[in-house]
Amino acid sequence: MLKFGILGAGFGIYGYLPAVHKLGYEILLLERYRETLNKRAELIEYVSHVNFYKKEEDLIAESDCLIFARTPQLQYHFILQNIDSILNKRHVFLEKPLTDNSEHSNKLFKLFTEYRLNFSIGYLFKYTKWFREISNVLSKSNVFQINWQIPLVDSGWKNSSFLGGGPIRFYGIHFFTLLFDLGIDASAIRVEANTSSFKIDTLGNPKFEIRGKLVETDPSFNVTELKTGDPLFSESTPLGRRPISGYSDPRIPIIVEYLENELSAPTPIEKTILFEKQIDEILNR
Residues 210 and 148: their CA atoms lie apart, in Å, by 8
- CA distance between the termini of the chain: 50
Spell 149-185 as b/e; 16+ CB within 10 A means b.
bbeeeeeebbbebebbbbbbbbbbbbbbbbbbbeebe
H or E element, residue 73: helix 72-81
Task: Give the DSSP H/E element, type plus range, for residue 260.
Answer: helix 252-264
Q: Whole-prediction pTM value?
A: 0.94
- Are 280 and 104 contacting, i.e. CB atoms less than 8 angstroms apart? no
Domains of the chain and CATH, by start: 3-122 (3.40.50.720), 125-283 (3.30.360.10)
Closest CA to 19 of 184, 179, 249, 216: 249
Q: One-letter amino acid identity for 2?
A: L
Which 3 state secondary structure label does DSSP give 118? coil
CA distance linking residue 207 with residue 184, whole number of Å: 10
What is the chain's pLDDT, residue by residue, as a tens digit (285 residues)? 999 999 998 899 999 999 999 999 999 999 999 999 999 999 999 999 999 999 999 999 999 999 999 999 999 999 999 999 999 999 999 999 999 999 999 999 999 999 999 999 999 999 999 999 999 988 888 999 999 999 988 767 888 888 889 999 999 999 999 999 999 999 999 999 998 999 999 998 899 999 999 999 999 999 999 988 999 999 999 998 776 777 778 899 999 999 999 999 999 999 999 999 999 999 887
pLDDT of residue 237: 94
